[in-house]
Structure 1
Amino acid sequence: MEKKIFLLLLSVFFSGMLSAQVNISGLITDDDNIPLSGAAVMLKGTKTGASTDADGKYTITAKKGDVLEFSFIGMIKKSITVGDEKVINVRLASSAVNLDEVVAIGYGTLKKSDLTGAVTSIKPESLANAKVGTAGSALQGLAAGVFVTTGSVKPGGDASIIIRGQGSLRAGNAPLYIVDGMPVEGGLQDLSPSDIESIEILKDASSASIYGSRGSNGVILVTTKKGTKGKGKVTFNATGGTQRMLNKQDLMNAQQYYDLSSTVFPDYKWTSEELRLLSKGQTTDWQDAITEDGSYRNYNLSVSGGNEKAAHYLGVDWYDQKGTIRNSSFNKATVRYNLDAQTTDWLKSGVRFNVSESSLKNINEEADSGYGTMFSAISSQPTAPIFTDEGEYFDGFLNTKANPVAIVDLLDRTTQKTRAVGSVYFEIQPIKNLKIRSENGAELEFFNVNSYEDGRMGQHYAAGGHATKFAGKKRYLQTENTATYTFEFGEHKLSAMGGFSASKTEYENVTADSKNLSPILKYNNLGGAKDHGPNGSYAVASTLTSFYSRINYSLSERYLATLTMRADGSSRFAPGKQWGFFPSAAVAWRISEEEFIKSVPAISNLKLRVSAGMLGNQNIGDYAYASTISQGGEWADYVFGGELATGSVQNTISNPDLTWEKAQQFDIGLDFGFLDNRIAGSIDVYNKKNKDLLWLVPLPKESGFDSSLTNVGQIDNKGIEFTINTVNVTGKDFLWTTGFNFSYNKNKITELYGGKMDVNKSLFVGHPINEYYLLKSQGIWQQNEAAEAARYNAQPGDRKVYDMGNDGVINGEDRNFAGVSTPKFYGSFTNTLKYKGFDFITFFTYAGGHLINNSLNQYLNAYNTWGNMSKDYYWNYWTPDKPSNVYPAPRVGSPYANGDGTDANLQKGDYIRLRNIELGYTLAPDSFIKKIRSTNIRVFFSVQNLFTATDFTGYDVESSDRTNPYPNARSFIGGISMNF
């Protein structure tokens, strides 16, 4: 009887336990609300678990009080105690660093935890901070040690990127761009940011030396998206918005200009059109007349999918931007297709193909800065009307410049480019652990620049019209062949790669020029012009042959080493000087894998890196070592048989000893991660020595030549980089992450040829290559300094310049060092907050420690006889009654009045800019989403360049053109992203 009662109670107990267990189901997504396939769900303290399917869904059996642990590679683990609910949806936050992430390293990949070099990896979601512009400009602020400036914010303008300081004088400082194994000239302008899977920036010698003679300025590796096996995916993105010009210059109105000019020139004869404008109290605001609100739109559609045998990705992109200067625009169509096929268990093959076509219209900013659009707009007198009484464009300008409105109305300048880049690869695995890969690619580019300048544009332009056509073609062929063998024995891991590559580049172009031709046909019938020439053509080819190898070694996943070597042979150098050898070595110690550190739970990752090596720069132009001969000209023509004949003459001298610029670099880095990598980052200290710098060295006049391209000296760049990313809060519905980076660089010339301390007073040993060497402005001569001013042929109201030698003469010997033009430090600061479906992003960039020569001020803050000036000058110039110590008196012939050649126009270049502020909302995977078969829909609104804190008063603190810049703009953008 007792036994039966015991069994009954036992069955009731277990039946209660069983009845308490229920099936828990739910959806696991990432911090962007995108379902995660393959995420793990474990019952804490047991081996019971489950994983999510392709739609991010899971089911597991548990009871109230159990703890479920949710995890995914690269995500912060989350634990939830089971209550009465049967559905538990979980949103996992990305950790500050994913050590298992695989990154590209050039001719291969490596886990981030195994890296020995200084490599920064950037994901496509970070590129979204820059909606308007190229993929290159989107890199601004995303990586320590990588200084990105907008260069020109014109439609279609690309970024200027310098990695770890300027190391070259003439051979360029731009990094090498590699897209899916193919080198790309001119940046990333022809690539759609939506097609990018990841970007790796190779900064030190160990990581970049695999590219040898092209790696001294760093390497940017771009990997585009590929299809993956499983459910197919369709993504559609649409963005659009408006742009408004920033920093309009505050100039004098017509009456102020008339009053000031009449004071200086009381007998000046004003035109009837100007007097009529003045009598009506009107002013021509030339800045307003040539600008308007711009617009921007970008549409992108991609389709991807695959199975066990093949995977594909197709992306189609349309980008269209109307500039803030009227009639300026840029549009681009891009199509990308990637295919990977596992043909057999030992053969894999694939195709990469990208074609783009772009059109850039009416950008008159670079080649002709004296008569460019914005310069004409700020310098033209406000008393001048746009049109004459007869309806023609007014052309009575004092400065003989063009009518700004006529420029934007009548200039027809179009740059069209078509570029196709493709490659095919075959990868075989003949035996276990050995992979042999052959990748062969080609690039074909056509570009045309058609220009027609209507004679009505102004006195500067040809009265009968001027048309030019420039057509060019580039052909590039490349083969890359590598063998990689990997094996493990015990705690040892070794990977050895060796390869051979060869490439050939061919350029050709033709130029046709004509004047006095039909304004209807413009550049479409140059043969109908009255005047022709100069016309010309050009063709050149170059080749590069390379051998390279790399060995990666790991012991116990704690001690890491990398050895790299590349040998390059380039046709750009003279026989005997064509080969260069570029070795590097790096070691790393994963301190966090040591037992004495593993016992410290707060430390998740700690790795010390040391690297050293040699890099090269062959970007000197083709056959620059050889002398050149030109036909015709003053020194070539001669009389033969009583007639003038055309001859040829040598115009450059040869230099058979010309060789590579070389960069020796040493780097020490520390990667860290704490609290399950909720806090992670790195610190790097580097010393880069660029040797054999190329420079045009002056030659004695008796040589018959002005200069010779020669290897002349050395530049050192020393710096420190700091990056930290934190996951601050990870609540049930709230996530807050922060990213911050800081870079400091010190640049200095340490050696010049022949023991010289300077070259033409433009390069100085012991000083940066970008340091100003100017006269020192000391304000304005005052009344009580009349006698001293007379010593310098000046008078009260003139600019006072420091006489360093106190000899009563101001000349070049009185110049001194006035500061550097490039930032000493720069970086960015990002905050991302997510609450349920909402996300909010603020992205700041900053730079400082430098000065900018605001060359606009030499025209706007001093009196000139031909153009407008700033209102600040009008109200504050020197007079005996209000003796300014900033602006000189309005006087013709006043020495150094505009500050040219002095430091008077230098302004602090420090700035902090709110580059992007964005609010988005991601629709939850509810019934509506399911009805339209979508997995994710996000809408957003952002403002770019909301504000900039700076003392600089020009159009843009980041612009590379201070005299005739394209004005920066504030962008208001909205968009939608849909995944199916």
Structure 2
Amino acid sequence: MLHAQSLQVKGRITDALSKKPIEGVSISVKNAKTNTSTDADGQFTIGAARNSQLLISSVGFQTKQVTVSGDNLTISLEASVKQLDEVVITALGIKKEKKLVSYATQEVKGADLIKAREPNPINSLVGKVAGLSVGASAEMLGRPQVLLRGSNIDLYVIDGIPINSDTWNVSPDDIENITVLKGPVASALYGYRGQRGAIIITTKKGSKDKRGYAIEFNSSTMIDKGFIALPKTQDLYGPGDHGKYAFVDGKGGGLNDGDYDIWGPKFEGQLIPQYDSPVDPVTGVRTGTPWTARGKDNLKRYIQAGLLTTNNLSVSSSTDKYDIRFSLSHSYQKGIVPNTQLNITNFNINTGYRFNDKLKLDAQLNYNRQYTPNFPDVNYGPNSMIYNITIWGGADWNIDDMRNYWQPG
């Protein structure tokens, strides 16, 4: 019985034109399971029998077949004449070469959305699409403001289906890509809602590796330091007006104690009736206590570092006939305001079955749950945390006394 002589073949692969080494070239032995790839210097080592065939392939180069004639090979690859056409998702959710699309589009890959993760995937489009402005809402679960060329966009299409959504119910880990339609074509397809443009979201489908299935786990943790800037307010004078103030009931029963003016007496330690001053049990009159700026920098001392953790587990598989993908995500956001948090759990199933080359059935199920025991109001209004603490509220009270106060709602 004759055995083919086995060699430890070493070699180097270069570009035939530039003579530079090519990294990441795939080398495999024909009719065998042995394979490897080149390093940064274009070098490789592989076990192969003498006179066996090596298949050499790399993106952008012509595939080459080389006969093993010795244990040291020098191989050059010719650039491929065939160009890779950029593919975009059209308004109908159909893949098409970008040069064949007659209207303006711009695509963002899903991998770019999770590099600097946001709880809402639309917020991650900041700076990635020309002409698109995204204003993240300061409110938890608040819908971001999305402007395309100055006009508000409120049309979102997920896998070809227009939806009404604040986009909090879409997990960034489930997005394959986002295409922004900039022309009036969205209006022709979806009516007046698309007159300013549309955001087309394509979710991930089933994929596989050499085992026949793929399992992915992604985890990230981010720390939020809080507001970029805080309003500067004075803390030399307390609440009141024209230098006068005395608290009785906070509803105007005292001296200037029912408005938001912060131009009362100067903090000099004088005795003035305040909200927490002791009340005489006989007369019911509040006894004056020292008037000091005990609440200086209330807001700065109140907020804390926020935390955002996200975990995603997905299992997918595909064949020539079907593809299927399961995904489970959980995001936990600890607010910069004490006692505030937000949890988002998202479960997604995406599956498809190909009957033939012209007919395919796709189905998707998405379950999203958002739950929080308490979250602050930071918009303009009487419930606003920022206005109440630092603009409408003076320095006559200490935020530390209110830190753990909980109002059921």
| TM-score grouping bracket, smaller chain normalisation | 0.5 to 0.7
Q: What residue number does 1:200 align with?
A: 179
Q: Are 2:27 and 2:35, in contact at CA under 8 Å, matched by a contact in 1?
A: no
Q: What residue number does 2:250 align with?
A: none
Q: What residue number does 2:100 align with?
A: 114
User: Alpha-carbon deviations, 1:880-908, whole Å to 9, x = none?
Assistant: xxxxxxxxxxxxxxxxxxxxxxxxxxxxx
Which one of 131, 134, 142 corresponds to residue 117 of structure 2?
131
Q: Are 1:201 and 1:219, in contact at CA under 8 Å, matched by a contact in 2?
A: yes
The CA deviation at 1:219 is: 1.1
1:71 aligns with 2:67: no
SS in 2 for 1:212: helix
Structure 1: stretches of 5+ with no match in the other structure: 1-18, 27-34, 43-48, 62-67, 89-96, 167-172, 388-392, 394-404, 413-451, 453-980
**CA–CA separation in structure 1 for the residues paired with 2:312 and 2:384:** 34
Which one of 238, 255, 258 corresponds to residue 219 of structure 2?
238
1:271 aligns with 2:273: yes
Q: Are 2:88 and 2:107, in contact at CA under 8 Å, matched by a contact in 1?
A: no
SS in 2 for 1:157: coil
Shift >4 Å, 4+ stretches: 19-26, 39-42, 49-61, 75-79, 84-88, 258-269, 272-279, 343-347
Which one of 350, 356, 364 corresponds to residue 338 of structure 1?
350
Q: What residue number does 1:442 align with?
A: none
Q: What residue number does 1:326 align with?
A: 338
Q: Are 1:136 and 1:159, in contact at CA under 8 Å, matched by a contact in 2?
A: yes
**Compared CA separation, residues 226 and 368, structure 1 to 2 (3 A):** same
**CA–CA separation in structure 2 for the residues paired with 1:383 and 1:350:** 63
Q: What residue number does 2:194 align with?
A: 215
User: Alpha-carbon deviations, 1:340-363, whole Å to 9, x = none?
Assistant: 123467753232111101024433
**Compared CA separation, residues 323 and 76, structure 1 to 2 (3 A):** farther
**CA–CA separation in structure 2 for the residues paired with 1:51 and 1:161:** 54
- Aligned residue type for 1:163: L
Percent identical residues: 22
Q: Are 2:334 and 2:342, in contact at CA under 8 Å, matched by a contact in 1?
A: yes
Q: Are 1:41 and 1:69, in contact at CA under 8 Å, matched by a contact in 2?
A: yes
**Compared CA separation, residues 283 and 20, structure 1 to 2 (3 A):** closer
**CA–CA separation in structure 2 for the residues paired with 1:243 and 1:135:** 17
**Compared CA separation, residues 60 and 205, structure 1 to 2 (3 A):** farther
Which one of 144, 159, 167 corresponds to residue 159 of structure 1?
144
- The equivalences for 1:34-53 within 5 A come to none
The CA deviation at 1:266 is: 6.2
SS in 1 for 2:237: helix
1:293 aligns with 2:305: yes
Q: What residue number does 2:237 align with?
A: 257
The CA deviation at 1:365 is: 2.4
**CA–CA separation in structure 1 for the residues paired with 2:175 and 2:61:** 25
Q: Relative to total residues, which structure has the larger strand share, 1 or 2?
A: 1
The CA deviation at 1:249 is: 3.5
**Compared CA separation, residues 52 and 342, structure 1 to 2 (3 A):** farther
The CA deviation at 1:376 is: 0.3
**CA–CA separation in structure 2 for the residues paired with 1:351 and 1:149:** 32
1:350 aligns with 2:350: no
The CA deviation at 1:289 is: 5.1
SS in 2 for 1:161: strand
**Compared CA separation, residues 345 and 277, structure 1 to 2 (3 A):** same
Q: What residue number does 2:254 align with?
A: none
**CA–CA separation in structure 2 for the residues paired with 1:161 and 1:312:** 32
Structure 2: stretches of 5+ with no match in the other structure: 1-5, 14-22, 39-45, 49-54, 65-70, 76-82, 245-262, 278-287
Q: What residue number does 2:161 align with?
A: 182
Q: What residue number does 1:143 align with?
A: 129
Q: What residue number does 2:314 align with?
A: 302
Given the two structures, how large is their TM-score scaled by the length of structure 2? 0.67
**Compared CA separation, residues 162 and 364, structure 1 to 2 (3 A):** same
SS in 1 for 2:382: helix
The CA deviation at 1:128 is: 2.4
Q: Are 2:153 and 2:198, in contact at CA under 8 Å, matched by a contact in 1?
A: no
Q: Are 1:155 and 1:328, in contact at CA under 8 Å, matched by a contact in 2?
A: no
SS in 1 for 2:299: helix
- Aligned residue type for 2:213: G
**Compared CA separation, residues 183 and 257, structure 1 to 2 (3 A):** same
SS in 2 for 1:137: helix
Q: What residue number does 2:260 align with?
A: none
- The equivalences for 1:474-493 within 5 A come to none
**Compared CA separation, residues 25 and 331, structure 1 to 2 (3 A):** farther
Q: What residue number does 2:397 align with?
A: 384
Q: Are 2:327 and 2:347, in contact at CA under 8 Å, matched by a contact in 1?
A: yes
User: Alpha-carbon deviations, 1:26-84, whole Å to 9, x = none?
Assistant: 9xxxxxxxx99xx7779xxxxxx9899999759799xxxxxx98532xx69999xxxx9
- Aligned residue type for 2:134: V
- The equivalences for 1:855-894 within 5 A come to none
- Aligned residue type for 2:218: N
**Compared CA separation, residues 227 and 20, structure 1 to 2 (3 A):** closer
- The equivalences for 1:838-857 within 5 A come to none
The CA deviation at 1:101 is: 2.9
**Compared CA separation, residues 258 and 218, structure 1 to 2 (3 A):** closer
1:359 aligns with 2:371: yes
